[in-house]
């Protein structure tokens, strides 16, 4: 799917429709010291193995991709809900 690199949409901070630059949301680095990670490692120790079954194959053929919209006037960022796509291409809008 082709998505324009500039979209005119509502900005809650400006309270009006403004131009937004479009980019793809990327997940940050996970912390190895987080409570859930430490607890899972502890439960994997010794006999018994995994806490829950390891996923051998995936059911879905696509991943949900999330768009990040940044207002060109105030710099406020909106994160659009993810949609299922095989491929996304951010292209320059042709006038």
Residue 39: inside a domain: no
pLDDT, one tens digit per residue, over 38-71 is 998 888 888 877 778 888 888 899 999 999 999 9
Above pLDDT 90, what percent of the chain?
72
- Residue range of the domain that includes 71: 1-27+61-82
* Residue 94: per-residue pLDDT: 64
pTM across the whole model: 0.75
Residue 19: inside a domain: yes
Instruction: Copy the structure tokens of residue 2.
Output: 């082709």
Domain count, the chain: 1
Alpha-carbon 24 to chain mean position: 7
The CATH number covering residue 5 comes to 3.10.450.80
Above pLDDT 70, what percent of the chain?
98
Residue 47: inside a domain: no
Is residue 95's pLDDT more than 80?
no
- Phi first, then psi, for residue 88 (nearest 5°) are -125, 140
Alpha-carbon 20 to chain mean position: 17
Residue 45: inside a domain: no
| Contact predicate 93/35, CB 8 Å | no
Residue 12: inside a domain: yes
- Average pLDDT score over the chain: 91
């Amino acid at each position: 799917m082709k998505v324009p690199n500039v979209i005119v949409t509502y900005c809650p901070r400006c309270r009006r429709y403004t131009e937004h630059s479009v980019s793809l949301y990327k997940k940050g680095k996970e912390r190895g010291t987080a409570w859930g990670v430490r607890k899972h490692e502890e439960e994997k120790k010794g006999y018994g193995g995994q806490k829950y079954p390891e996923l051998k194959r995936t059911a879905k053929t696509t991943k949900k991709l999330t768009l990040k919209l940044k207002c060109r006037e105030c710099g406020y960022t909106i994160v659009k809900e993810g949609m299922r796509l095989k491929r996304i291409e951010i292209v320059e809008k042709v006038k």
